Amino acid sequence: MFERMLKKVLDANKLLWKYGLVTYTWGNVSEIDRLTDYIAIKPSGVQYDHLSWDDIVVVDMDGNLISGKLGPSIDIQAHVEIYKAFPDVGGVVHTHSPWATAWAQSGRPIPCYGTTQADCFFGEIPCTRKMREDELGKDYEKNIGKIIAETFKDRDPMAMPSVLVNGHGTFSWGVNAKDAVHNAIVLETSAALALRTEMVNHGVMAPLDDIMQTKCYYRKHRKHGHEEQVMSE
């Protein structure tokens, strides 16, 4: 009964592999059906080249298995927390993609140095705070999701559809699984460009002018009903 949803989530997971965002099984994509709050996600520990649509697992918001013969990705609780915190999100991606993860491991947000990033992300891509010792227990994955929500308490998650998890990797999201993967790919490209920009410059430099960042973002997103505003406001 979930065949269409499972095939969409399979295709999105295969895109991660195609674009080089995952090594071994270190990454996963999910999509939620907001009518039932059922979430389809990659199973735990299955290699991408062996993955078929009927391996995809369906769980509810409490992580209970609804459909599937395998266990869900161990990151499922982080996905659940993102869906709970951001009601407009329909798909979530987690990766350890190498360029973006280099920034995550440095604990640094990615400055917006050019239009590649500004077209997709409104401002610098944030990095979460370090996790406390008491957050590393059995609710570790759930706490990752909670810290992401905390990082976005004064941000619009639909205007900033990615985050770096301090010392760990990345999460991206979108209106569906495919859109979330698109944002994860732009994140990885932006991370590579930003790091190379600092190499060329021998260090940190000034970000793209606010007016240019605002121009780029709203040129791509005006059709979604956003009003133009000045970024520094």
* Closest approach of Zn ion to the CB of residue 171, in Å: 9
Q: Which is nearer to Zn ion, 161 or 169 (CB)?
A: 169
Give the footprint of Zn ion on residues 167-196 (CB under 5 A).
169
The angle at the Cα of 132, spanning 124 to 98, to the nearest 5 degrees, equals 45
Q: Which is nearer to Zn ion, 73 or 117 (CB)?
A: 73
* Closest approach of Zn ion to the CB of residue 168, in Å: 6
Q: Which is nearer to Zn ion, 111 or 169 (CB)?
A: 169
Asked whether the beta carbons of 32 and 39 are under 8 A apart, the reply is yes
Chain-centre distance for alpha carbon 174 = 8
Decide: is 145 part of the binding site for Zn ion (CB under 5 A). no
Q: Which is nearer to Zn ion, 113 or 173 (CB)?
A: 173
Q: Which residues contact 165 (CB under 8 A, 6 or more apart)?
A: 104, 127, 128, 144, 147, 148, 171
Q: How far apart are CA 41 and CA 38, in angstroms?
A: 10
* Closest approach of Zn ion to the CB of residue 200, in Å: 30
Backbone angles phi, psi at 125, to 5 degrees: -85, 120
* Closest approach of Zn ion to the CB of residue 94, in Å: 6
Q: How far apart are CA 104 and CA 98, in angstroms?
A: 10
Q: Which is nearer to Zn ion, 65 or 74 (CB)?
A: 74
Tell me the number of residues near Zn ion by CB under 5 A: 1
* Closest approach of Zn ion to the CB of residue 75, in Å: 6
Q: Name 31's bridge partners.
A: 40, 91
* Closest approach of Zn ion to the CB of residue 93, in Å: 11
Q: Which is nearer to Zn ion, 72 or 169 (CB)?
A: 169
Residue (of 60, 23, 11) closest to 188 by Cα position: 23
Name the residue with the smallest CB distance to Zn ion: 169
* Closest approach of Zn ion to the CB of residue 69, in Å: 24
Site stretch for Zn ion (CB under 5 A), options 7-15, 83-91, 131-139, 161-169: 161-169
Residues belonging to the chain: 233
- Give the H/E segment covering residue 88: none
Asked whether the beta carbons of 231 and 123 are under 8 A apart, the reply is yes
2: left (phi over 0), alpha (psi -120 to 50) or beta: alpha
Residues that bind Zn ion (CB under 5 A): 169
